[in-house]
């Protein structure tokens, strides 16, 4: 099954376009898990997945949080991925890219070894770094277009042949979508840019939108400006705001409550 069909199935089944970000951080995971547990990271993720799997369409794992654990990180990442129900979208967020020959290995690692449904990809190297990802026709490559951070403006607003760079990137994403397997990453913290990018990319390209929750993006503006003409093709990610909602033995219940509240707030505007 291709990415878009899988996304549409789970969005309909769970009535949700919410993605929960499993960004494991030792300083934020409830302390008692490290005192009482031999696999605290895995058990934390399993508890969050168990308590949110009927409320989400996707889980996004930012690879930095796993790589920074050290030698165990890859195992923790793999075991978490294996635990995610097969009908839920997995986004591996590594913002990878390189020259074509090396990008090929990043793509292989994410799509073949780790078996993710989608990846976040950096556009800076141009088409030869993007092509190895696009060869995986049933997967989705979410290309960074307008990032959510304050200093996104440093480069992304620079004018290149009469257009801000982020709009040029959007035009490139449209061009690179020849296999119908590109997506775009746009921060919820930039709702005006979101609207412009949707206009450039049309109805068929999915948007991964981080920046609600801890980064303060406005849900109503995000849905209205980011959705296509049917209000579809958007995935809204929240990581810290959901997974670290509680820090006692009821942490998973707290995460569930915030996930439901977030999904319902989103659904009010869909």
Considering only residues 56 through 85, tell me which ones interact with ligand OMP, judged by CB under 6 A: 62
Considering only residues 19 through 48, tell me which ones interact with ligand OMP, judged by CB under 6 A: 21, 23
The span from the CA of 209 to the CA of 231, in Å, is: 14
- State the minimum distance, in angstroms, from the CB of residue 1 to ligand OMP: 23
- Residue selected from 4, 46, 214, 221 as contacting ligand OMP according to rule CB under 6 A: 214
* Interface with ligand OMP, residue 123, by CB under 6 A: no
- Residue selected from 24, 76, 93, 258 as contacting ligand OMP according to rule CB under 6 A: 93
- Considering the complex, state which of residue 214 and residue 224 has its C-beta at the smaller distance from ligand OMP: 214
Which of 95, 135, 214, 221 is an active site residue? 95
The span from the CA of 197 to the CA of 170, in Å, is: 6
- State the minimum distance, in angstroms, from the CB of residue 247 to ligand OMP: 15
Count Cβ neighbours within 10 Å for each residue of 215-248 and write b for 16 or more, e otherwise: bebebebbbbbbbbeeeebbbbbbbebbbbbbee
Considering only residues 231 through 260, tell me which ones interact with ligand OMP, judged by CB under 6 A: 237-241
The span from the CA of 266 to the CA of 238, in Å, is: 12
Whether residue 121 contacts residue 96, with contact meaning beta carbons closer than 8 Å, is answered with: yes
Q: How far is CA 153 from CA 19, 166, 180, in A?
A: 25, 9, 29
* Interface with ligand OMP, residue 2, by CB under 6 A: no
- State the minimum distance, in angstroms, from the CB of residue 38 to ligand OMP: 26
- Residue selected from 185, 200, 219, 259 as contacting ligand OMP according to rule CB under 6 A: 185
> Which segments within 65-171 are labelled E, that is strand?
89-96, 118-121, 140-146, 159-160, 163-164
Contacting residues for 5 by C-beta, under 8 A, at least 6 apart: none
* Interface with ligand OMP, residue 120, by CB under 6 A: yes
Write out the catalytic residue numbers. 95
Q: Which residues of this protein are in contact with ligand OMP, per CB under 6 A? A: 21, 23, 62, 93, 95, 120, 147-148, 185, 187, 210-211, 213-215, 237-241
């Amino acid at each position: 099954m291709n990415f878009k069909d899988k996304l549409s199935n789970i969005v309909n089944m769970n009535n949700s376009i919410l993605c929960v970000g499993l960004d494991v951080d030792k300083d934020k995971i409830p302390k008692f898990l490290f005192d009482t547990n031999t696999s605290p990271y895995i058990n934390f993720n399993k508890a969050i997945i168990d308590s949110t799997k009927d409320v989400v369409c996707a889980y996004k794992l930012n690879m930095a949080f796993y790589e920074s654990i050290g030698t165990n990180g890859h195992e923790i990442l793999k075991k978490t991925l294996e635990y995610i129900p097969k009908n839920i979208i997995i986004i591996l967020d590594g913002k990878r890219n390189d020259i074509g020959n090396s990008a090929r290995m990043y793509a292989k690692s994410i799509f073949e070894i780790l078996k993710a449904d989608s990846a976040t990809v950096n556009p800076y190297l141009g088409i030869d770094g993007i092509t190895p990802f696009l060869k995986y026709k049933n997967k989705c490559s979410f290309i960074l277009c307008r990032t959510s951070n304050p200093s996104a403006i440093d480069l992304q607003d620079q004018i290149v042949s009469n257009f801000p760079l982020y709009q040029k990137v959007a035009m490139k994403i449209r061009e690179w979508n020849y296999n119908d397997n590109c997506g775009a990453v746009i921060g919820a913290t930039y709702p005006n840019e979101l609207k412009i990018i949707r206009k450039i990319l049309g109805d068929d390209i999915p948007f991964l939108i981080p920046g609600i929750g801890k980064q303060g993006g406005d849900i109503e503006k995000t849905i209205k400006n980011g959705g296509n003409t049917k209000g579809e093709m958007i995935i809204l990610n929240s990581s810290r705001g959901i997974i670290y909602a509680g820090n006692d033995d009821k942490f998973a219940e707290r995460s569930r409550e915030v996930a439901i509240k977030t999904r319902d707030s989103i659904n009010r505007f869909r």
